[in-house]
Amino acid sequence: TISAKDSHGNKVGSAYSFTKKTASLFKSFTLYSGQTYVASSNIRLNVDPEMEQPDECRFVYGPSYTKSCDLKYSDEVQSIKLTGFWPSTTVTLKYQELKGGRVTYSKEYYIMTEGMGLSAEFGKITPTSYTMTGSRNKTSHDAEVVDEGWTLDRETITRHGSTLHVTGCEPESYIYAGYAVMVKNGSETKLYYYSPSKSKQLPALTLETVTEAKATSNTVALICATTNIDDEEANTGFEWRRYDAPDLVPSSKANCPVVDGVMTGALRNLSSSTYYKFRPFYKAESGKTWYGEWSAFGTADAYVYFDPTVRTYAAVCHDENSATVSGFIIAGSDDIKEQGFEYWKRDDAYATTKHATATTDDNTHQTVVATGQRMSAVLQNLEPNTTYIVRAYVTTEHGTTYGEEQIFSTPYSTAIGEVELDEAYSDHLAAKVTKVGDNELHLAICGTARPVAIRLTAVSGIQMAATTLGSSLESTRHACLHTNRLQPGMYLLHVTDGQDAQTIRIAIK
């Protein structure tokens, strides 16, 4: 307000001056976050004709606000999409208005981008091993995942697949593993992982020596210990020495398997009528060793026969023509001449009547030789959709001892193999693998205009990768699956458009 006064101090007049506001007010709007972007489809600025209009308005973001997204200074509905962010990150956006190169109005917005949808949970836990399962929600994501699997150090991914199984752990140690993805953004990569919020500690180890030897002969002894170690743990065994041996004489050690909570070992080449002491041990992958208490036994003065111990585990089918069988053996009083697996096709009589233990008189029985206390073998050239019986065996000079009989069935033959494609459009879905790389699998698809779903699975059914193609009238379409370094083995590629389906068997060497 401007006013004037006369010589007597009386006000004689006044005038008013107005200036336009330079700050623009606009309606609030919602910014939606994805994994690497922030977007809005409903931005509407309140434009007041009485207000001085800026030269430009924009959003700035990124390192030192070096990235920008321009807006129209208009009351029309506008859409924006700001990209290049990391998942699970707080993003700061600045709305700015500029006049003459100067910022005349600024307002900040804070928004959290979405996470990677990782999950993990514990399975079986023993004093020396643990199992975890993990997954990633892939329904809506745009982050570039270059590796996926498990991290044990929260820095690198060293295991792949949805199931993690770790053995050789130190008892009473804590589990720090997590399901993880390596995300690439520009030239940088960053590890994201998820571990269950409640950490787990492995149980304490028990190694209780059975005070008496299970069986003894003049040069052989069968010794035992009870333990809560799982059967599959490999670094278990016994240490033994002559009872009267000086401390400077080193003990002998031998790895021995654990079966149903009992560690059993056969000590051979002992001296007759001699006392020995022994104790069980477990050695972790770190090199640290745990021991049970010492116990003792004396060998006989003459030969005594006792049977070997033989066990057959359940078979695992890889496909319609092969299966892996496994078992273990512990030698008895005699030396082993041969060991392995015997298998044969099951007939209807076996399934419907009480059967006696099979013999090898039937020429349909086949054998495969294996070695080691823990032995395994791959049975080849099996018939599809057929039931087989398998059992482990050990042959000594006293005859053959068998383990339990295990029954398994091969699946139907579903593999179709690679399909030759021509460029002509056909009425049925056809797919062909064109390239298998270290981290990618490429395929060509024709014969359908419908959307196509593609999945790569292990023969066990675990999904390794997946993608989709939208509808298209192109005669041949191409797809790429990111496979994250597949381990050698057999895989199945499933392709379907909702009407036709095809399965291609792929061997990774």
* 256 has a pLDDT exceeding 90: no
CA-CA-CA-CA dihedral for 405, 409, 410, 414, to nearest 10: -170
Of the candidates 420, 428, 480, 434, which has an alpha carbon nearest to the alpha carbon of residue 456? 480
Amino acid identity for residue 80 in this structure: I
Is the CB of residue 406 less than 8 Å from the CB of residue 316?
Answer: no
Q: What is the DSSP letter of 349?
A: H
- The pLDDT of residue 211 is 81
CATH number of this structure's domain 217-298: 2.60.40.10
Separation CA 371–CA 361 (nearest Å): 24
DSSP assignment string, 144-196: EEEEEEEESSSS---B-SSEEEE-SPPTTPBP--EEEEEEEETTEEEEEEE--
**What's the whole-number mean pLDDT along residues 45-58?**
80
| C-alpha closest to that of 313 among 358, 370, 238, 363 | 370
Beta strands in 101-143 (DSSP E): 102-112, 118-125, 130-136
Q: Do domains 32-112 and 118-194 have the same CATH topology?
A: yes
- Residue 505 CA to residue 181 CA, distance in Å, equals 27
Q: Which residues have C-beta within 8 Å of that of residue 298, sequence separation ≥ 6?
A: 216, 273, 274, 275, 276
What percentage of the chain has pLDDT greater than the value 90? 39
- DSSP label of 346: P
List the domain boundaries for the chain: 32-112, 118-194, 217-298, 309-409, 430-508
Which one has a higher pLDDT value, 314 or 439? 314
Query: What is the mean pLDDT of the segment spanning 184-207?
Result: 92
**In angstroms, what CA-CA distances link 451 with 380, 423, 499?**
38, 19, 10
pLDDT in the model for residue 421 = 38
Give residue 105's pLDDT: 86
Cα 471 to Cα 460: distance, rounded to the nearest angstrom: 30
Mean pLDDT across the chain, nearest whole number?
Answer: 83
Q: Residue 487 has what DSSP assignment? A: P
pLDDT surpassing 50 at residue 358: no
**CATH homologous superfamily for the domain 32-112:** Immunoglobulins (2.60.40.10)
Nearest CA-CA partner of 215 in 329, 307, 311: 307
User: What's the whole-number mean pLDDT along residues 391-395?
Assistant: 96
Lowest mean pLDDT among 132-136, 152-156, 295-299, 465-469: 465-469
- Tell me which residue of 434, 426, 423, 390 sits closest to 409, measured CA to CA: 390
Residue range 277-291: mean pLDDT, rounded: 96
Closest C-alpha among 325, 317, 304 to residue 403? 325
Q: Which residue is associated with the tokens 């329904």?
A: 139
Beta bridge partners of 192: 181
Q: Write down the pLDDT at residue 307.
A: 87
Instruction: Report pLDDT digits (tens) over 5-46.
Output: 556 666 555 444 444 444 445 445 678 888 898 888 777 777
Mean pLDDT score, 2-7: 56
Is a pLDDT exceeding 60 seen at residue 500? Answer: yes
Q: Name the nearest CA neighbour of 408 among 346, 363, 490.
A: 346
SS3 63: helix
118-194: CATH, from 3.30.460, 2.60.40, 2.30.30, 3.40.50: 2.60.40
- Write down the architecture of domain 430-508 according to CATH: Sandwich (2.60)
Give CA–CA dist 352/356, Å, rounded.
12
Average pLDDT over residues 341-358: 62
Beta-strand relationship, 78-83 and 37-43: antiparallel
Residue range 421-429: mean pLDDT, rounded: 48
The pLDDT assigned to 289 comes to 97
Rounded Cα gap, residues 121 and 198, in angstroms? 10
Residue 350 has pLDDT above 80, yes or no: no
Q: What is the pLDDT of residue 19?
A: 44
Asked if 324 and 341 touch (Cβ cutoff 8 Å), the reply is no
How high is the pLDDT of residue 285?
94
Name residues whose C-beta falls within 8 Å of residue 250's C-beta, 6 or more positions apart in sequence: 241
438, pLDDT greater than 70: no
* pLDDT for 423 beyond 50: no
Nearest partner of 282 among 208, 218, 347, judged by Cα: 208
User: Is the domain covering 309-409 a CATH 2.60.40.10 domain?
Assistant: yes
H or E segment to which residue 107 belongs: strand 102-112
Q: Where do runs of H (alpha helix) occur along 19-111?
A: none
Q: Give the angle subtended at the CA of 282 by the CAs of 281 and 283, to the nearest 5°.
A: 120
pLDDT range class, residue 206, cuts 50, 70, 90: very high
% pLDDT > 70, the chain: 86
Specify the pLDDT at position 174. 94
Q: Higher confidence at residue 490 or residue 88?
A: 88
Instruction: Please give the pLDDT value at position 225.
Output: 95
Start-to-end C-alpha separation, the chain: 89
* Max avg pLDDT among 15-29, 47-61, 80-94, 302-316: 80-94
**Per-residue pLDDT reduced to its tens digit, 152-192:** 998 999 988 889 999 999 999 999 999 999 999 989 999 99
pLDDT tens digits for range 453-490? 888 888 766 778 888 887 776 767 888 888 766 777 77
Decide which of 500 and 127 is more confident: 127
Cβ neighbors of 361 (< 8 A, separation 6 or more) are none
Provide mean pLDDT across the span 297-311: 87
- Is residue 426 very low, low, confident or very high in pLDDT (cuts 50, 70, 90)? very low
